[in-house]
Amino acid sequence: MKRVGLISDTHGLVRQSVLDYLRGSDLILHAGDILEGEILQQLAQIAPVTAVRGNNDWGPWADRLDETELLAVEGVAIFLVHDLSHLPRHARARAARVVVTGHSHKPLVQERDGVLFVNPGSAGPRRFKLPISAGELRIDGGQVSASITEFAA
């Protein structure tokens, strides 16, 4: 079984409680709006990181990030993109069993037409009254499940 940690919208802040939650992940996916490359370095101390650029990610460190990533974990295709509204313009997304997004800061786990959509919410500064959260995928023999965990501010 593989555990894939999911994080998004850190906006320059990652709490120790979120880092502790991500420990034990085999891989971490960051769905953008990172704001500071040091956050990716912190996450990389826990597990390998795949990240995409969000609409607020600028500068030399962010130029190295793509807008989307398509990867496979134990045969499960995962498409990573910051903004779900950009999904239709990416043909590679059609191959995905899982789509991981960010941008809205609203945690979501929803299966539609055989595709699991997961937004881990925002692990960064609180926005409005939305929770601070992160998520995980559990992948075992081609089967995948997702969950979200909320954290105190």
Predicted confidence at residue 150, as pLDDT, reads 97
**Number of domains observed in the structure of the chain:** 1
CA distance 62 to 150: 27
C-alpha distances in Å from residue 15, one per residue of 19, 42, 119, 125, 152: 6, 11, 18, 9, 10
Nearest in space to 32 (alpha carbons), one of 10, 12, 48, 49: 10
CA distance 110 to 112: 6
Residue 21's domain comprises 2-151
Predicted confidence at residue 19, as pLDDT, reads 98
Predicted confidence at residue 90, as pLDDT, reads 83
Give the CATH number, domain containing residue 31.
Answer: 3.60.21.10
State phi, psi for 78 to the nearest 5 degrees: -120, 125
pTM of the model: 0.97
Predicted confidence at residue 94, as pLDDT, reads 86
Helix (H, G, I), strand (E, B) or coil at 113: coil
What residues form DSSP beta bridges with 81? 68
Predicted confidence at residue 116, as pLDDT, reads 97
DSSP 122: B
Sites in the chain below the pLDDT cut of 70: none
State phi, psi for 31 to the nearest 5 degrees: -90, 30
Predicted confidence at residue 128, as pLDDT, reads 85
